[in-house]
Amino acid sequence: MTFAFVGTVSAVENWILSETTPYVLTFTCTSGCGGVYPHTLDLTLYDVNDGSFTGVGRYNVTPTITWSVTNGNISGNNISFKVDYDASLYYVDVVGTIATSGAMSGTAGNLSQTFTWTMTPNALYNRRAEILNPTEGEKVEGLVSFTAYLNDDDADNIQWAVRQGTCDMVASANVFGNVTGVSDIADIDQDDLSNQTFSFTGNMSGLDEGNYCFVYNPVEDSGESNLRLTREFVLDHDFDDDGVLNEIDKCPGTGPDTYEAGLGTNRWMWNGEGWVTNSPAEKNGKAVGPNVGFTIADTFGCSCTQILDSMSKTLGEDFQGHYNFMCSKSIIEDWISGEYYLETVNVPSTTGVGIDSVMSPILGQDYFLKASGTYRFGSVESWGEYGIADAEYAYRNDSYSRPLPPDNWTLGDDTNYPSVLGLDVQVDNVNVYWGNYSTEHKYTYLYSGTDNPIHFHIYDNQYTDNSGEIAVDIFAKLW
């Protein structure tokens, strides 16, 4: 019997009984009778999905004595059925097991007799496999995952290949695999023989677009069925045909924009071929507004509607005016930059109480906190040119640090005195790291929202001689 699996495979039994092979069923009496009684069983139906089977048979010594099999069932390694003789009320209930070799044996009986039994030839292991990824006809790109599994009674060698344009054994078509011309190593786990897994991830970014085939071919032992499976798929570097490669396309399925009220003055929309605005007209393939032009590549493959949909989800705003009249220049530029300005918080250096943001960042959403500027943590009279700090670093003289960097800007926790640890801007009462020293005193910290205002304060042991503030701009991370 040959089994072909496509897509998801339902649960099936591990053993196969052949509908074309006569089985010799031999009963040996153990009580109520005596002797050995050979029979022949011909299966009329075997369902590998649920293990049910039926059949007809005869007593080999007197072939005119015939019978039928009812309630036949294989479940796991267990087998059971009932032998009903045709010309009498005589029957035998049969139960047993299938050994790992496929040998079948067990006990049988009725109200007055008991037997042991064997049946030959052996049952065949239902060797089967399935390709899980990619799916049939799937469009793929970039890093592509190839996965499959094998259910077998032993660990077999796996031959496999990914071929361009064919599933046949054409060496020049091989792009990945362990066959002629390629020597890639897949992750194959055969610890569980009933679920021997295969996985390989191939980078198809540099390959030509078109049809490809994944071939998964566990090598069969003598007498086993051939399980050479194939899965055809399509390599497509631009799924939505908008001219932007998938690896940088942030909006799949891009189609023309549809405004709700009309295309507003100096508003932009994607018409399926280019960004257009009604004032002034499209020029040289770009929509040209006041000192600006956009292409679909500029917007990472996103139309106005897709930009608004993404920003609405990220920011919790409805942008209804933009849905009505399409995208403004600033909305598109924010999208291109990947960030959206929300608020500036000026963190005072003269108090340890700190200050909260007005807005409450959405739980789990990422934000950029951009700190800039410097403040004085000591008076000019006491510190001279020193005594200055930014969001992370302090400008100190040699008596306060060990050792000082050449430019005298150092982290607060590099000082000799625990009482003056810090001097940096803390976020939600946490001493965060703002990054490497910036001569412009500008830093960016990635922050995850908590549904609460952000609390900022400058950590110092004395605030009375401080002056100035650090500005922290809050941006939503758009992508």
Q: Looking at the DSSP assignment, which residues form a beta bridge with residue 38?
A: 26
Asked if 105 and 84 sit in the same domain, the reply is: yes
Asked if 346 and 324 sit in the same domain, the reply is: no
Total tally of structural domains belonging to the chain: 4
Asked if 55 and 117 sit in the same domain, the reply is: yes
For residue 473, tell me if it sits in a domain: yes
Question: Which CATH number characterizes residue 42's domain?
Answer: 2.40.128.120
For residue 174, tell me if it sits in a domain: yes
Picking from 235, 260, 281, the residue at the C-terminal end of a domain is 235
Under the phi-then-psi rule, with left for phi > 0, alpha for psi from -120 to 50, and beta for the rest, what region is 304?
alpha
Picking from 235, 262, 294, the residue at the C-terminal end of a domain is 235
Asked if 262 and 299 sit in the same domain, the reply is: yes
For residue 7, tell me if it sits in a domain: no
SS3 state of residue 400: helix
Asked if 376 and 402 sit in the same domain, the reply is: yes
- CA dihedral over 446, 318, 245, 185, signed as positive or negative: positive
- CA dihedral over 322, 327, 328, 332, signed as positive or negative: positive
Asked if 397 and 431 sit in the same domain, the reply is: yes
For residue 1, tell me if it sits in a domain: no
Q: What is the pLDDT of residue 10?
A: 44
On the 0-12 / 13-18 / 19+ scale of CB atoms within 10 A, 303 is buried
Question: Which CATH number characterizes residue 196's domain?
Answer: 2.60.40.10
Q: What is d(CA 472, CA 456) in angstroms, rounded to the nearest whole number?
A: 9
Q: Which token pair is 369?
A: 């906190």
For residue 413, tell me if it sits in a domain: yes
Asked if 251 and 266 sit in the same domain, the reply is: yes
Q: What is the pLDDT of residue 400?
A: 62
Asked if 364 and 445 sit in the same domain, the reply is: yes
Q: Which domain holds residue 178?
A: 128-235
Q: What is the pLDDT of residue 403?
A: 60
The CA-based angle 290-292-298, given to 5 degrees, is: 155
Q: What is the pLDDT of residue 117?
A: 98
Picking from 71, 101, 124, the residue at the C-terminal end of a domain is 124
Alpha-carbon radius of gyration of the chain = 38
Q: b/e per residue, 203-242, with b = 16+ CB within 10 A?
A: ebeebeeeebbbbbbbeeeeebeebebbbebebebbbeeb
Asked if 369 and 258 sit in the same domain, the reply is: no
pTM as predicted = 0.59
For residue 138, CA distances in Å to 6, 144, 210, 216 come to: 14, 11, 12, 17
Could you tell me whether strands 425-427 and 409-411 are parallel, antiparallel, or unpaired per DSSP bridges?
Answer: unpaired
For residue 8, tell me if it sits in a domain: no
For residue 3, tell me if it sits in a domain: no
Q: What is the pLDDT of residue 70?
A: 94
Asked if 401 and 282 sit in the same domain, the reply is: no
Asked if 323 and 353 sit in the same domain, the reply is: no
The string of DSSP letters for 309-365 reads HHHHHHH----HHHHHH-B-HHHHHHHHHTEEEEEEEEEESS-SS-EE-SS-PPTT-
Chain centroid to CA 385: 55
Q: What is d(CA 447, CA 435) in angstroms, rounded to the nearest whole number?
A: 13
By residue count, the chain amounts to: 479
Asked if 226 and 332 sit in the same domain, the reply is: no
Task: Dump strand ranges (E) for 76-206.
Answer: 78-85, 91-98, 104-109, 114-120, 124-125, 128-133, 139-140, 143-151, 158-164, 174-177, 187-189, 196-203
Q: What is d(CA 123, CA 417) in angstroms, rounded to the nearest whole number?
A: 81
For residue 156, tell me if it sits in a domain: yes
Give the chain's residues under pLDDT 50.
1-10, 280-282, 285, 291, 419
